């Protein structure tokens, strides 16, 4: 029998659509991150999507736009999805944490990684998304997403390449966050890591293709 998520336990009678979910996230005060962000950034994609990609948190551009993966990391992800044979239109993209965590450096807002408390407090919204979308596979992009989905701290290099199964049976894959590639200066290293990212996405493409067959 499917494990009950936090949604089943607390929210299912109240939230029945992605638009209701987006509103609830935007009104959320479960952790302090709402205080300095422009808005919550909800997941995006068709509710019938079979594949869910989970990133860390919105970046500066996503915070302003109110949409996930619209900045430079989003462009890397778009290219990697295409190279892995996954149409972005078939994918629901979201983040483990819905508000932008940052610190001011002059006039610039610099990304700060969410802590364990913030990830745990925000998990309820990811659970709601999973319950509404019901993906057959989920890809965790980076350690924050993996921690939220698996409920424990993980080392990406130890889990990438494996097919995992979440408590409700959903297939899960772990890879790097595409923003990591943006920080690699050596072009050869960057290209090698990009290819590894695409390789990590291919098993998810296979699950999608099997579902569509
Ligand atoms: S980051 Fe998540 S838990 Fe924290 S206030 Fe925003 S929506 Fe709520």
Question: pLDDT digit string (tens) for 152-172?
Answer: 999 999 999 999 999 999 999
Amino acid 11: pLDDT: 53
Q: Which domain holds residue 196?
A: 6-212
DSSP strand E in the chain: where?
51-55, 91-95, 102-105, 108-111, 137-141, 164-165, 171-175
> Quick check: 199 pLDDT over 50?
yes
pLDDT band, very low/low/confident/very high, at 10 (cuts 50, 70, 90) = low
Average pLDDT over residues 41-56: 97
Nearest atom (ligand 1) to Cα of 124: 3
Within a domain: 20: yes
CA distance 22 to 54: 16
Nearest atom (ligand 1) to Cα of 31: 4
Q: Which tokens hold the place of 131?
A: 């319950």
Average pLDDT over residues 60-77: 96
CA of 94 to the centre of ligand 1 (A): 13
Within a domain: 176: yes
Nearest atom (ligand 1) to Cα of 26: 7
CA of 59 to the centre of ligand 1 (A): 14
Within a domain: 94: yes
> Quick check: 1 pLDDT over 90?
no
| Cβ neighbours, 10 Å, residue 78 | 14
The CB of 30 under 6 Å from ligand 1? The reply is: yes
CA distance 187 to 21: 40
Within a domain: 116: yes
CA nearest to 32, candidates 97, 128, 127: 97
CA nearest to 170, candidates 92, 101, 57, 75: 92
Within a domain: 1: no
CA nearest to 75, candidates 181, 190, 202, 208: 181
CATH code assigned at 48: 3.40.470.10
The CB of 81 under 6 Å from ligand 1? The reply is: no
How far is the CA of 88 from the CAs of 11, 51, 75, 120, in angstroms? 29, 10, 11, 28
Question: How many domains, the chain?
Answer: 1
pTM of the model: 0.94
Within a domain: 79: yes
Within a domain: 63: yes
């Amino acid at each position: 029998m499917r494990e009950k998520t936090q949604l089943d336990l607390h929210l299912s009678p109240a939230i029945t659509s992605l638009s209701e979910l987006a509103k609830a996230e935007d009104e959320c005060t479960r952790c302090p991150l709402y205080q300095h962000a422009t808005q919550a950034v909800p997941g995006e994609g068709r509710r019938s999507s079979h594949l869910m990609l989970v990133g860390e948190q919105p970046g500066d551009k996503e915070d302003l736009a109110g949409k996930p993966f619209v900045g430079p990391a989003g462009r890397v992800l778009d290219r990697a999805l295409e190279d892995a044979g996954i149409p972005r239109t078939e994918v629901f993209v979201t983040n483990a944490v819905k508000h932008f965590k940052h610190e001011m450096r002059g006039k610039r807002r610099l990304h700060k990684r969410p802590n364990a408390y913030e990830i745990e407090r925000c998990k309820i919204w990811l659970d709601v998304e999973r319950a509404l979308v019901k993906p057959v596979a989920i890809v965790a992009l980076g350690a924050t997403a993996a921690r939220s989905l698996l409920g424990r701290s993980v080392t990406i290099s130890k889990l990438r390449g494996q097919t995992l199964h979440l408590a409700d049976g959903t297939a899960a894959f772990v890879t790097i966050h595409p923003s990591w590639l943006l920080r690699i200066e050596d072009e050869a290293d960057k290209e090698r890591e990009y290819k590894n990212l695409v390789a990590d996405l291919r098993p998810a493409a296979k699950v999608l293709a099997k579902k569509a067959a």
